[in-house]
A and B are shown apart, each in its own frame.
Chain A
């Protein structure tokens, strides 16, 4: 009797070990395929576009043998497609990671950076610049030139974050759901103010405003890539401690506390990282929804909820998704362009629905 029981336990340990190893292999496989997909997407993105220039022109461009022809190819490859591809990758990665972090913090698979008002804050600031840029704020806006909009969007995102951090500090130990509620209210307020500004805008401003909320990478430049890089670096630096903390939070707020995780510090760490990601992404590309919800979900369906894999895999897959969507956006109606946010929703929604339905209700 004793003997059979102990051997049974041994089998269980062996099985658990096997499962662990299988899961580990699966994670490496998923991460590897995501990286391969990202590499393919990037190469395609640099190879195709409205002009007939292909990646084959790259050596010629870099060596600069024929000056006249090379200058056009150089412009397309190095100053249009390359920064655009990089920006798409950074925006996608940051939005996906921000979504994964929000879902981890709120322990809600539907959480998204929009939920705590960060993207609404960024949008409000951008909309203000679009409309008031011709009116009372003309001097400031014209001084900043074409960078006024991205700068404003970032400041708006950070401002909302600041308010959230203040709220969480002022009432020590405010629950995560309380924070969520505060974020929702700030978001709703920002939306109302946006509506008010849209109401006083003229026809042209209204068109700009509408187009901006559909998201686009048409205005990509090296300046924007350089502008977004520090924020990507900041998030990358915070990532290891975020992975550990969010894994602890998966068990629950109190449980995480007993595990020795500083929950308060975690909260504002996540909020700051989200603000950096979303503020910078919105500043670079306008409003792009869906990536923050769909990508972490896909990854979770594939590898489970461990943030050690979830965050990096989300970043890679998010980057690949936005690059691929942007290729579609700028080629299907060439020489015109579709808004990126719309392409992502059109492409993403059916795929997402398929995944969720195939896996059943347990998400």
Chain B
């Protein structure tokens, strides 16, 4: 009974003191800009957590999946290309940090016009791009000091990756399969984040004749003759085993040598702070014979 009373009292207090925060973010913005951050984009969210600013995040988008346990506990404003103005405002943000992919444009325009700062993080899929993203985010949350160590670490990892890439004597071709359904494979061509990641890992994209993600015929797969096949790890998705026996894939060098690699999309393709590690992992799996210390 007493417990119940205490809980009710606590809830009442919470309601009284929480109310002004919900209705008055403009006031809160002056008090503490970093207390209610809305982070849009998996790369941005990861950088915020790396910089120790994760505690200020109140909401993320669906592409933010790492660190998994932290992100799951947060509110979710939906897919980054389909945001809602009022939905984001209801989080009473004091700062929005968004990847350049955020949309739709009308909603982004409305959010930019609101009273709190809106920081856009836009950079190329490259080592320099990753560092630039870290710099932008660090500047937005005033954590330049913490960012120096992170940038040093990322640059060292990329340097190691480049060194390891130099030791590859005969480059291998790999094919990235985004989806495989009903005998139809959609693979990554040039100008994709996959292509950029392959380049970093010293792998030749077996489907670089076209741009973007495109369906490809079994015959074209045979012609491409990939030495390795990379697929997305997905709940209930296509497994390495299914690909190995699929038409077009079965006769490839990759299937014969069993070099079918499953990767986590948010890890390998978002070009966040773990991009160099993802590249190293990929390189190790495609070139298992390389020196074990490569990329360390």
List 16 A–B pairs whose Cβ atoms lie within 8 Å, in order of A's numbering.
Answer: A51-B90, A68-B27, A71-B26, A79-B110, A80-B86, A202-B192, A202-B211, A203-B213, A208-B103, A211-B79, A211-B81, A218-B106, A335-B86, A336-B77, A336-B78, A337-B83
One of B17-25, B120-128, B154-162 at the interface = B17-25
Contact of A335 among B78, B79, B105, B110 (CB under 8 A): B78
Alpha-carbon gap, A3 to B129, bound state (A): 100
Chain B, range 153-195, C-beta contacts under 8 Å to A: 191-192
Contacting A219 at CB < 8 Å: which of B75, B105, B191?
B105
Q: With the chains together, A335 CA to B61 CA distance in Å?
A: 10
Q: Which residues of B contact A (CB under 8 A)?
A: 22-27, 59, 62, 75-79, 81-92, 101, 103-107, 109-110, 114-115, 191-192, 211-214
Chain B contacts for A81, CB-based, 8 A: 86
Residues of A within 8 A of B106 (CB): 146, 218-221
Contacts A72-B23, A218-B107; A202 near B191 (Cβ below 8 A): yes
A318 interface contact, C-beta 8 A:
no
Q: A52-B22, A335-B76, A337-B84 are in contact. Are A76 and B104 (CB under 8 A)?
A: no
Partner of B24, one of A72, A335, A339: A72
Q: Given A71-B26, A335-B91, are A219 and B104 also a contact pair (CB < 8 Å)?
A: yes
Tell yes or no: A103 within 8 A of B by CB.
Answer: no
Q: Is A199 an interface residue (CB 8 A)?
A: yes
Asked if B89 contacts A75 (CB within 8 A), the reply is: yes
- In the complex the two chains form, is B81's CB within 8 Å of A218's CB? no
Is residue A169 within 8 Å, beta carbon to beta carbon, of the partner chain? no
Given A50-B84, A334-B90, A337-B83: 18 more A-B contacts, CB < 8 Å: A53-B23, A68-B24, A68-B27, A71-B115, A72-B23, A76-B86, A76-B89, A146-B105, A199-B214, A202-B192, A206-B213, A208-B81, A219-B106, A221-B110, A334-B84, A335-B75, A335-B77, A336-B76
Chain B residue at minimal CB-CB distance from A75: B114
Q: Does A330 contact B (CB under 8 A)?
A: yes
How long is the Cα–Cα vector from A49 to B85 in the complex, in angstroms? 10
Least CB distance, A342 to chain B, in whole angstroms: 12
Q: Tell me the nearest residue of chain B to A336, going by C-beta.
A: B78
Q: Mark A164-201, 1 if CB is under 8 A from B, else 0.
A: 00000000000000000000000000000000000111
Q: Which of B59, B110, B115 has the most CB of A within 10 A?
A: B110
The reply to whether the CB of A333 lies closer than 8 angstroms to some CB of chain B is: yes
Residue A110 interfacial (CB < 8 Å): no
Instruction: Name which residue of chain B comes closest to A81, CB basis.
Output: B86
Nearest 8 A/B pairs, CB to CB = A336-B78, A219-B106, A335-B87, A50-B90, A337-B84, A51-B90, A202-B212, A50-B87
Taking CB atoms, residues of chain B closer than 8 Å to A79 are 110
A107 to chain B, nearest CB (A): 39
CB within 8 A of B82: which of A68, A202, A218, A221?
A: A218
Interface string of A44-77 (1 = CB under 8 A from B): 0000011111000000000000001101110110
CA distance A336 to B40 in the complex (A): 12
Q: Cβ of A207 < 8 Å from any Cβ of B?
A: yes
Contact call A218/B83, Cβ cutoff below 8 A: yes
Min CB–CB distance B83 → chain A (angstroms): 7
Asked, given contacts A51-B90, A72-B115, A335-B90, whether A218 binds B84 with beta carbons under 8 Å apart, the answer is yes
Contact (Cβ within 8 A) B87 A337: yes
Specify which chain B residues have a CB less than 8 angstroms from the CB of A208 in the assembled complex.
81, 103-104
What distance in Å separates the Cβ of A47 from its nearest Cβ neighbour in chain B?
A: 13
- Which residues from B are CB-within-8-Å of A72? 23-26, 89, 115
Mark interface residues in A219-244 (1 if CB within 8 Å of B CB, else 0): 11100000000000000000000000
Tell me the complex Cα distance, A201–B191, Å.
Answer: 12
